[in-house]
Amino acid sequence: MNIMGELKSMITGKPVFDNAVFLKKDSTAKKDLEYLESLVGDKRVKDPNILLQQIKKLKYGIYGEDKIEFELANSHIPMFVLHDIRLEYEGLTAQIDYLLIAKRNTYIIECKNLYGNIEVNKKGDFIRWMGKHREGIYSPITQNQRHRELIKKLRKNNKKNIITRIGFEASFDSWHKSLVVLANDKSYVNDRYAPKEIKEQIIKADQLISYIKKTEQNSKSMNLSETDMRGIAELFLENHKPLEYDYSYLLNEEVKEIDYEALYNQLKEFRLNRSREEKIKPYFIFNNKQLDELVEKLPKSIDELMKISGFAEKKCEKYGEEIISIVKQYRIG
């Protein structure tokens, strides 16, 4: 930001930008989904049904988070957005779906895309109804409260002296808002008997933007400049510790080594058969050097295949899926 823009932001209390800015948009779930989908049809998978169930679960969660992303991207609210942030501090961890840093408040969002209808009783217990069947589920309010406490400790420790730490701790609750956002449009929430402090933290996805606008307008918290807002967001980014999930339990452990010779021969056979079908020379499909690279690099997607010299868009469009399918049978991980 230029000097005049920063001065304007400080004087008016309004950030110069006028819409949500995503400083982190990717997610672990989408990377995991890409990997799990690459295992479909892989002979090493122990139980294809378990694999498909895991894929379905990831897709359902991603769908809910994508709905929130759409709402935020079209909010016309100046704020910094962090998606899928995992924080670690003093032995505590928090996996946060969305962190929103607006000019007056920070919003800690737990996204739930739940099947069935949700009831919250007078004790604050969450109960899911699916037809006549009901089951208790872990409270997302409690889950988000843990996230909030970790953020409080992290930010308090970042303050330079005891006076600012005391002031920060005293005002923390007033400008750090915990929200559980229900993304499934078909779910009905019965919170008639829920405690007020819990009821106020549960909203549907289509209510999110109006909630933030109203909260920002009515807030008595100090206006932050764009620089201050970005500073808070960058503190979270600096402490982001992504976690890689281990899906090795889905695979048969006895498959230890790749049979490179068998892969080489199968790719060579594929090349020969396609060349005969198209009445062209085999090297027009891929030459021996490219064959060696396929065996060496084991591409698991079209993007990875295109990184191999000679595999341009048209060739990948024509042969890519078949090549990937062959390679997939021999990949480990």
- Give 14-71 pLDDT, tens digit per residue: 556 788 999 999 999 999 999 999 999 887 888 999 999 999 999 999 999 999 999 9
Element (H, E) at 65: helix 48-73
Q: What pLDDT score was predicted for residue 4?
A: 52
Q: Which of 189, 193, 181 is nearest to 123 (CA)?
A: 193
For residues 99 and 239, what is the distance between their CA atoms, to the nearest angstrom? Answer: 13
Q: What pLDDT score was predicted for residue 84?
A: 95
Q: Which of 210, 204, 51 is nearest to 113 (CA)?
A: 204
- The residue extents of the domains of the chain are 3-248, 257-328
**Architecture of the CATH domain 257-328:** Orthogonal Bundle (1.10)
For residues 299 and 265, what is the distance between their CA atoms, to the nearest angstrom? Answer: 17
From residue 182, give the alpha-carbon distance in Å to each of 45, 88, 188. Answer: 33, 26, 10
Using the CB atoms, write b or e for 164-200: b if 16+ within 10 Å. Answer: eeeeeeeebeebbbbbbbbbbeebebebeebeeebee
Give the CA count within 13 Å in the CB-facing half-sphere of 111. 26
- Give 221-253 pLDDT, tens digit per residue: 888 989 999 999 999 999 999 988 889 889 886
Q: What pLDDT score was predicted for residue 306?
A: 92
* 8 Å CB contact between 100 and 212: yes
What pairing do the DSSP bridges indicate for beta strands 133-137 and 176-182? unpaired
DSSP characters for 25-58?
Answer: ---HHHHHHHHHHHTTT-TTBS-HHHHHHHHHHH
Prediction pTM value: 0.72
Query: What is the chain's pLDDT, residue by residue, as a tens digit (333 residues)?
Result: 455 555 555 555 555 678 899 999 999 999 999 999 999 988 788 899 999 999 999 999 999 999 999 999 999 999 999 999 999 888 889 999 999 999 999 999 999 988 889 999 999 999 999 888 989 999 999 999 999 999 999 988 888 788 788 888 888 988 999 999 999 888 888 999 999 999 999 999 999 999 999 999 999 888 898 999 999 999 999 999 998 888 988 988 654 567 888 999 999 999 999 999 999 999 999 999 999 999 989 998 999 999 999 999 999 999 999 999 999 888 765
